[in-house]
Structure 1
Amino acid sequence: MMENHFFRLVWPSPWPITLSFSLLNLGAGVIYWIKSYDILPLFFFFILSFLIVGQWWRDVIREAVFEGKRSTKINLMINSGVILFIVSEICFFGSFFWAYFYFSLSPDYSLGVSWPPKGIVVVDYLGIPFLNTLILLASGVFITWAHYSVINNSFYMAKTSLFFCAMLGLYFLMVQGYEYVNMSFSFTESVFGSSFFTLTGFHGFHVLVGLIFIFINLIRLMRNYFSPTGLLGLEYSIWYWHFVDLVWPFLYCFIYWWGC
């Protein structure tokens, strides 16, 4: 009777509790880095967390691909979980946009009654931001092409297009890093600076997470883990990447163009 249901009781795993402690120490490492300028503990726990996530991810892939532990009901619930996760990410960015609009629509005297505040030299929206917009839009085209190719059994084309998508995402991060290095203002220069770096920085972090997701699925694609009817892992990375693509036009319009 214990197996008379659509779900599967997972085996005991060490990865959830070990990852929790590792992330706790990672947060402490950030505080230690800020206070003492020593990045070594932060770097150590970041690598440890990355290795734990890799082991956990390996077990999940093994259960789904080789052990056949994913029923239609379980896949449906995983789909719902991924959708709710993306919705929570939308709410996450929405809260920072709310703060940005709160200060920008009615700047007070501390901001010089102007937006951007006086003394802030904004980035030209037709320069690096426009280039990054083209890069992300192109990456969205390539990842959609990869999805279409897998569905149509064109796996060579799927690998090629997914690789180009990953390279464009990596190029986006390099261009954003160049923009940060040459920025004329910092995080501490008024609420404009903190809003700018918070929104664009968190978006860059989500691009990095999406890149890791894509690279993992590219490796799985090269090992023939996917089929036209079994490609949920790849589809989840596509959903997440399109979410990243969708957030950037809002950043471009309101942070770079409207905020100039």
Structure 2
Amino acid sequence: MTYLERSRHQQFPFHLVAPSPWPIMVSFALLSLALSLALTMHGYIGNMNVVYLSLVSLLGSSVLWFRDIIAEATYLGDHTIAVRKGINMGFLLFVVSEVLIFSGLFWAYFHSAMSPDVTLGGVWPPVGIQAVQPTELPLLNTIILLASGATVTYSHHALIEGNRKNALSGLFITTWLIIIFVTCQYIEYTNAAFTISDGVYGSVFYAGTGLHFLHMVMLAAMLAVNYWRMRNYHLTSQHHVGYETTVIYLHVLDVIWLFLYIVFYWWGV
């Protein structure tokens, strides 16, 4: 019995995933990216070519994998209510893991900030470090993120109510707000007076805000895909689990940024 025949005769609401090469391809691409980054940073590889190749392989495999998932959800009808509940639960567990990662970074920050030793000059930020001022780009980025949370909520509620025009416009504005945030964060990094190699302050600052920056880049891509899918009538008022997880992701990153702003930019200067 073929996969399609088995799917038609199954007596349960769960999705039997078809054999796919993309999970193993993504796994090897991630392994290659991690190894090539580590070896390049330690001088064992003299150029970035292997890193770029690994990154292209990862992005290509991920796009093809996501294409298959979109086809299963939109055209094959495999994402039943039970499957969507499982996806939401899995994504919530992923969010918990993200919160724990950032909790570790906050712990590292407080460990040095609340008891700076003599090597730091006994003060925080350490002697010689000119911290980023909280009333400059960080404040603008905070306003942008709070606005994006409002616009994406407006779009989500409009989609639930069947108002396609407002849903599209709210999502379009949200996508551009996140792109502007990422651009402002990049400008902040390129103009900062310290780098990631400037002691514990630079390390923990760029680890925390940089990890959030990478998440925001991924969020911008997720919002763009959702906008494309909404324009092509993939998302309905009752069937938009991908958009729901993206909205949750945005709100979680908003809250994490508020803590980053309060601790890293305002309290820590």
TM-score, with length taken from structure 2: 0.93
Match of 1:184, as an amino acid?
A
Distance 2:17 2:194 in 1: 50
**Cα distance between partner residues in 1 of 2:182 and 2:36:** 24
What is the distance in 1 between the residues matched to 2:67 and 2:195?
A: 40
Question: Which residue in 2 is equivalent to 1:254?
Answer: 263
Q: Which moved more, 1:62-71 or 1:247-256?
A: 62-71
Structure 2 letter corresponding to 1:159: L
Shift of 1:7: 2.1
Q: Distance in 2 between matches of 1:161 and 1:117?
A: 43
Deviation per CA, 1:19-71: give whole Å up to 9, x if none.
Answer: 11111111122134322452222122212211111111111111111111122
Q: Secondary structure at the match of 2:86?
A: helix
Aligned partners of 2:220 and 2:15: how far apart in 1? 30
Residues 152 and 37 (structure 1 numbering): CA distance in 2 closer, same or farther, change over 3 Å? Answer: farther
Alignment partner, residue 72 of structure 1: 81
Give CA deviations for 1:105-140 in whole Å, capped at 9, x if unaligned.
111111111111111111111011101101111111
Which letter does structure 2 place at the counterpart of 1:148? H
8 Å CA contact retained: 1:32, 1:38: no
1:217 aligns with 2:226: yes
Q: 2:179 aligns with which of 170, 174, 179?
A: 170
SS at match of 1:228: coil
Residue segments in structure 2 that go unaligned for 5+ positions in a row: 1-5
CA distance in 1, matches of 2:236, 2:24: 33
Identity %: 35
Determine which of 5, 8, 33 is the counterpart of 2:12: 5
Match of 1:15 among 19, 22, 28: 22
- 1:22 is matched by which residue type in structure 2? A
The offset of 1:202, in angstroms, is 0.2
Match of 1:95 in 2: 104
TM-score w.r.t. the length of structure 1 is 0.96
- 2:15 and 2:256 map into 1 onto residues whose CA distance is 36
